[in-house]
Amino acid sequence: MRRFSWFNATSLTLGFAFLYMPMVILIIYSFNESKLVTVWAGFSTKWYGELLQNEAFLSAAWVTAKVAVASSTIATVLGTMAAYVLVRAGRFRGRTLFSGMIYAPLVMPEVITGLSLLLLFIGIGLDRGVMTIILAHTTFSMCYVSVVVSSRLVSFDRSLEEAALDLGCSPFEAFRLVTLPIIAPAVISGWLLAFTLSLDDLVIASFTSGPSATTLPIKIFSAVRLGVSPEINALSTIMIGIVTVGVITASLISKRASLRLQAEEQAAART
């Protein structure tokens, strides 16, 4: 067994510092009493109170939450269906084109995606607002869900489904009662990934949003152009906390589901 050398420890420390030090600094200065973000004047939580009274930020946060929940849910359903077809349907006419259309948003520049969606909405006469942002975020986040769920379906033991079918289940019941609970950690991971991508998106939302629907990243970007304020630091800290709680929760759910699945497999092996 190789020892953990000083070189590995130094590389790991520098890597984590490069990734997380800016976030730590941002969190620290969100509690700065001074309005100047570069001058420390003492500990204070007043900027969180100011943030809760800022109607523009609260309105943008509410729009972002609605868009993220709706788009990630739709993307999870469609992405899971697409992954199931790609893995289980075998060879069919148009499969290459279908898989290419599913995975295209992974490599497509966001500017091109946003511009093409903007032209589509203008062409069909759809007013830009919350609905257009949801459709746009569903379009590019569905492929990420498909990739995550596909990787789980590839390693799925199909004999479990076959056993359910032999016991009288219909294909839909076998999927609902057997397949879906087993791939649930991958589905949840795909939903969280789609939620995070929607929460973070700026480029595509800037093309597809309208005057009545401004997302939080767009609002933050517009405010930063006039200078970074402590309220933005406080808002960013809250967003970091939400994402951290979500990641930890997803990890615990996935670990619990994995342990439960292992216990069921061991019990089945004994019988």
Supply 19's token pair: 């990734």
133 — pLDDT class (breaks 50, 70, 90): very high
pLDDT mean over 239-246: 80
pLDDT at residue 269, as a whole number: 63
Out of 161-165, 192-196, 260-264, the most confident range is: 192-196
User: Token pair of 192, please?
Assistant: 């969280």
- Write down the pLDDT at residue 244: 81
pLDDT tens digits, residue range 58-102? 888 889 989 999 999 999 999 999 888 888 777 778 778 888 888
Task: Indicate if the pLDDT at residue 169 is higher than 60.
Answer: yes
Per-residue pLDDT at 1 = 46
Asked if residue 11 has pLDDT above 90, the reply is: no
For residue 226, give both structure tokens: 């006039």
> Quick one: tokens of 223?
């405010």
Query: Is 189 within 8 Å of 150 (Cβ atoms)?
Result: no
Crossing angle (nearest 10°) for helices 130-154 and 55-88: 40
- Give the up-direction half-sphere exposure of residue 178: CA atoms within 13 A in the CB hemisphere: 22
| Exposure on the CB side of residue 144, measured as CA atoms within 13 A | 24
Instruction: Tell me the domains of the chain and their CATH numbers.
Output: 54-227 (1.10.3720.10)
So what's the pLDDT on residue 73? 94
pLDDT: which is higher, 116 or 256 = 116
Residues 226/144, Cβ–Cβ less than 8 Å: no
What is the C-alpha to C-alpha distance for residues 146 and 173, in angstroms, rounded to an integer?
22
Of the ranges 70-84, 169-183, 187-201, 252-266, the best mean pLDDT one = 70-84
Closest CA to 138 of 86, 80, 68: 68
Section 261-269 average pLDDT: 68
